[in-house]
């Protein structure tokens, strides 16, 4: 089935203890859409870039089966640019530069042929932009998944809550779940977030895995155990994209299938963190993904 | 089968954000032996207490099927006393008081009838005391499990490494594994610790679960998701005791059974943290344990 993704397409400059990059391809929409396309969802990306955005990156998205008809190119603007430096433990980072550029006045336009898409994934973006996408759909999609972050909780909490009330699934990290709910216990936090609207809550714990909550059910998927984490940029987006893509690719939104989707998202995120930027995520074969899913599933399988 | 446990029996005074206790029953040997006895291991405890140690606590151990013949009572000495205060997030604590008392000159004496015991669990103690117990056994037990902590890495690293070289399984937390191995990646840390002697390495991650490593195999068991963590004191000991007790109770040391043993340890630890001190761990019924094992197993089961 089809998956409509909205999210940023960006240039990133990243420093980790292992090295640094010049401006490379980044953005939540990029990670989400590449990751979800591997799960055989027909991915349609709505985003915006500037005149400085290189054709090779548009080609890269297309080569990864992402429909880019919905990417607006603002010839006289510059692409969103983010730069960050990770600390030694890779669990925290400093933002060095944020230049919103064309993302600052982004008015998402959903092409007519996308307006009946069954699955909608709202990548991390301003909550009013996310809501504008929902409002352009002809009817409520079968499933709306949203990702967000603490920045929107700090600056636009009322807007954010309005968007949260319109979605089926929310994906946030543990600290964000605590901030949004005011509860320290993640079990209590998920229950508090149910009351805001979503029937399913995903709490990402980075290297410690992810929790999936729905009604009284909880499922936990660990992160893949890796010898080296090279660059965590995009891991959360890749996870959310893998999750949404798995559901759209299979067309099955049962809780049992959501469990498998969380494991799939975790597997895709493990590729992401092994290299700089999108490098770990591009040109994966089905065999690579099958092997990683197998290794990850084995990690928590009791006989 | 029989399980010989060596470890401290102590008085603890604990402060958490939820309240504080006077001197209550504590000590690694206490948590380990109660936890392991639930798994139907015949538990023999070697330890030392002072003349101030209350009979009711010896009775409590016996009522939980712990053979206390190996507990030396030093009538003119005082029982080991520890006092600590947990921070708001419960993940870190300050030690307020450590009075070693009779534990300071503890010379463990293994009763003759314990010297052929098949399973040996070395609770967190000075590594030379742990080694003295191994050396009193008539032959190498079927399995030796040890727990330790960063304090011994800081103060007696050479002694500690000697003891580590003599055991089959070591159980430590993530920060300790990093300190001991010099590796940040837990996968690399486990491999480095294999070279020190143990063929099985368990890395405890508190609320984030535990990892079990053997050769090229890895298994991950999550911690039970709880509404409230009341007091983490003894959780790591309870986990290790549950693990060792499960193996001794079943007599099966295959990797598949070790996986189940790690889940059992995690389930027992979840009881421990729900109340102050040993309160959550005493008077559990088999039905309580079966239900918790079932809930915990369901948390990470893919259909």
Is A299 close to B218, i.e. CB distance below 8 A?
Answer: yes
Q: How far is Cα B277 from Cα B24, in angstroms, rounded to an integer?
A: 7
- Name beta bridge partners: A197: none
A220·B299 Cβ contact <8 A: yes
Residue of A nearest to B210 (CA): A208
Q: Is A102 exposed, middle or buried (0-12, 13-18, 19+ CB in 10 A)?
A: buried
Chain A segment 106-165 residues within 8 A of B by beta carbon are none
* Residue A5 to chain B, least CA–CA distance (Å): 27
Distance, in Å, from the CA atom of B27 to the CA atom of B12, rounded to the nearest integer, reads: 8
Q: Chain A within 8 Å of B174 (Cβ-Cβ)? A: no
- Tokens 């508090």 sit at which residue? A192
Contact at CB, A226 and B300, closer than 8 angstroms: no
Left, alpha or beta for A140 (phi > 0: left; psi -120 to 50: alpha)? Answer: beta
**Tens-place pLDDT, residues B99-136:** 999 999 999 999 999 999 999 999 999 999 999 999 99
- In the three-class reduction of DSSP (H, G, I as helix; E, B as strand; rest coil), residue B114 is classed as helix
Q: Report the first-to-last Cα separation within chain A, whole angstroms.
A: 34
Asked if B77 and B102 touch (Cβ cutoff 8 Å), the reply is yes
Q: Is A186 on the interface with B (CB under 8 A)?
A: yes
Residue holding tokens 């397409």? A9
Q: Compute the count of residue pairs across chains A and B with CB atoms less than 8 Å apart.
A: 66
The token pair at A288 is: 């690579």
Tell me: pLDDT of B52 over 90. yes
Cβ contact B187–A300 (<8 Å) = no
Candidates A219, A222, A294, partner chain B, best to mutate (most B CBs within 10 A)? A222
How far does Cα B75 stand from its chain's mean position? 26
Nearest 10 degrees: Cα torsion A60, A63, A64, A69 = 80
User: What is the crossing angle of helices B186-194 and B174-181, to 10°?
Assistant: 60
Closest CA to A121 of A282, A238, A199: A238
- Nearest residue of A to residue B298, measured between CA atoms: A219
Query: Rounded to a whole number, what is the distance in Å from the CA of B189 to chain A's nearest CA?
Result: 9
| Residues in chain A within 8 Å Cβ distance of B301 | 302
What size, in residues, is chain B?
A: 303
Enter the pTM of the model. 0.96
Question: Is A229's CB within 8 Å of B185's CB?
Answer: yes
* Parallel, antiparallel or unpaired: strands B19-20 and B10-16: antiparallel
Q: Contact, A264 vs A246, CB < 8 A?
A: yes
Q: Do A222 and B222 touch (CB under 8 A)?
A: yes
- Give the integer Cα–Cα distance in Å for A258 and A243: 8
Output the CA torsion sign for B125, B126, B131, B132.
negative
Helix axes B255-272, B235-250, angle to 10 degrees: 140
Position B89 scores a pLDDT of 79
Asked if B85 contacts B60 with a C-beta cutoff of 8 angstroms, the reply is no
The answer to whether B61 and B45 have CB atoms below 8 angstroms apart is: yes
List, as one string, the DSSP characters of A111-140. Answer: -GGGTT-SEEEE-SS-HHHHHHHHHHSSS-
How far away is chain A from the Cα of B260, in angstroms, using its nearest Cα?
7
Structure tokens at B186: 């837990």
Name chain A contacts of B188, Cβ cutoff 8 Å: 227
CA neighbor of A12 nearest in space, from A97, A94, A105, A73: A97
Whether residues B228 and A185 touch (CB distance < 8 A) is answered with yes
Structure tokens at B120: 């040996």
pLDDT tens-place values along chain A, 303 residues long: 999 999 999 999 999 988 899 999 999 999 999 999 999 999 999 999 999 999 999 999 999 999 999 999 999 999 999 999 999 878 789 999 999 999 999 999 999 999 999 999 999 999 999 999 999 999 999 999 999 999 999 999 999 999 999 999 999 999 999 999 999 999 999 999 999 999 999 999 999 999 999 999 999 999 999 999 999 999 999 999 999 999 999 999 999 999 999 999 999 999 999 999 999 999 999 999 999 999 999 999 998
Candidates A115, A117, A79; CA nearest to A99 is A79
Contact of A190 with chain B, judged by CB distance below 8 Å, is answered with no
Residue A146's DSSP bridge partners are: A122, A170
The pLDDT value given to residue A303: 80
Chain B residues in contact with A299 (beta carbon < 8 A): 218-220
Total residue count of chain A as it appears in this document: 303
Radius of gyration (C-alpha) of chain B in whole angstroms: 18
Cβ within 8 Å of residue B98, ≥6 positions away: B81, B82, B83
- Smallest CA-to-CA distance from A33 within A43, A18, A23, A46 is with A43
Q: What pLDDT score does B145 carry?
A: 98
Distance between CA B143 and CA B21 in Å, rounded?
Answer: 36
Burial B36-68 (b: 16+ CB within 10 A, else e): bbbbebbbbbbbbbbeebeeebbebbeebebbb
Q: How far apart are the first and last CA of chain B?
A: 34
pLDDT at res. B168: 98
């Amino acid at each position: 089935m089809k998956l409509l993704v909205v999210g940023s397409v960006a240039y990133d400059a990243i420093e980790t203890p292992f090295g640094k990059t010049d401006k490379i391809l980044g953005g939540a929409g990029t990670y989400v859409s590449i990751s979800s396309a591997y799960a055989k969802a027909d991915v349609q990306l709505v985003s915006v870039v500037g005149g400085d955005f290189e054709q090779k990156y548009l080609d890269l998205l297309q080569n990864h089966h992402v429909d880019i008809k919905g990417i607006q190119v603002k010839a006289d603007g510059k692409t969103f640019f983010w730069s960050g430096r990770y600390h030694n433990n890779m669990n925290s980072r400093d933002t060095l530069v944020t230049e919103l550029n064309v993302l600052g006045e982004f008015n998402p336009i959903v092409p007519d042929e996308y307006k009946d898409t069954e699955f909608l994934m709202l990548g991390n973006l301003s909550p009013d932009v996310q809501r504008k996408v929902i409002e352009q759909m002809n009817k409520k999609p079968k499933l709306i998944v949203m990702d967000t972050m603490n920045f929107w909780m700090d600056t636009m909490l009322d807007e954010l809550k309005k968007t949260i009330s319109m979605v089926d699934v929310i994906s946030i990290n543990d600290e964000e779940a605590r901030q949004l709910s005011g509860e320290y216990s993640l079990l209590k936090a998920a229950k508090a977030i149910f009351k805001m609207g979503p029937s399913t809550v995903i709490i990402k714990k980075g290297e410690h895995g992810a929790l999936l909550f729905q009604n009284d059910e909880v499922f936990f998927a660990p992160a893949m155990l890796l010898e080296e984490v090279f660059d965590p940029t995009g891991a959360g987006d890749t996870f959310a994209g893998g999750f949404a893509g798995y559901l759209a690719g299979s067309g099955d939104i049962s809780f049992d299938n959501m469990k498998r989707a969380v494991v799939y998202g975790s597997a895709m995120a493990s590729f992401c963190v092994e290299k700089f930027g999108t490098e770990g995520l591009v040109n994966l074969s089905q065999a690579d993904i099958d092997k990683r899913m197998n290794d990850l599933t084995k990690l928590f399988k009791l006989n």
